[in-house]
Amino acid sequence: MSTVRDVLASALLLGGVFFSLVAAIGIVRLPDVYSRIHASSKSTTLGLAGILLAVLLHFGTYEVTTKVLLVILFTFLTAPVGAHMIARSAYVCAVSWYAKTTRYDLERATVVCATRGGPASERVHERAIELAQERQGVLVFLHVVDTAELSALGPAHASAVTREMRTLAQAILRTAQAQARAAGVQARAELREGEVSRTLQAFVHEVGADVLVVGYPHTAPGNEHEAEGRLWRLLGGLQEQGNVRLVVAR
């Protein structure tokens, strides 16, 4: 009986080492973060389980069995979730994939690009144009005139400020469209007014957007956490609307 147990333990140990080796090779050799995450989570989980089961068979005591089973349980619960969250964060932040990857999720997609204007938005426009080109999708540049902060102003002053903001917004949208035309992509522009987060969510729902491209928040030193908090609250609200891919361009 002891011999059979030792043989099984050796087989499990060798299997665990094999899967761990495969995971290590995959992390080094696979071409992008998404495939490397797959290697590190799947193979490492199986490798660790094999090694721990070998330990369980070899020692066989109550204390070792309890600890091994708990470690395996929590590994199988946490490793896939952790890998999914890392991959999702990479996907949202537009981390590039392997050049030969075949994609179908953007076929005939409606891409909405939320633009604020200025040099920082050029990269946001470029990313939206790239996504529209991949599957010949529809590209919409959206600028939201934030009128939520104008309520404290008098009616006359608020009206004048709003007109100036509309003029600036139209210029921003024309610049974005010119950038798209230069890349061979036809894009339309939309100007909306209201509180930015709610207006953006309503527009995405209105046009049935498949992809929303937003810029990473650039703010004054010391306010980074507040700006990032607003961004992730926005993204969280948009996720509740359905299958909208969110891309944060830096």
Which tens digit of pLDDT belongs to each residue from 37-87? 888 887 778 888 888 889 888 887 888 888 888 988 888 888 888 888 888
CATH topology of domain 110-249: Rossmann fold (3.40.50)
Residue stretches of the chain with pLDDT short of 70: 1, 92-94, 101-108, 135, 148-155, 217-243
> How open is the CA angle 137-113-108, to the nearest 5 degrees?
15
- pLDDT score of 212: 86
Q: Which helix (H) or strand (E) holds 78?
A: helix 62-92
First-last CA distance in the chain? 62
- pLDDT score of 220: 44
Q: Which two tokens stand for residue 227?
A: 């700006």
Say if CB 140 and CB 180 are below 8 A apart. Answer: no
Give Cβ neighbours of residue 119 (< 8 Å, ≥ 6 apart).
none
- pLDDT score of 97: 75
- pLDDT score of 175: 92
- pLDDT score of 230: 64
Q: Which two tokens stand for residue 93?
A: 């932040």
Nearest partner of 172 among 112, 119, 250, 247, judged by Cα: 119
> Domain locations in the chain?
2-92, 110-249
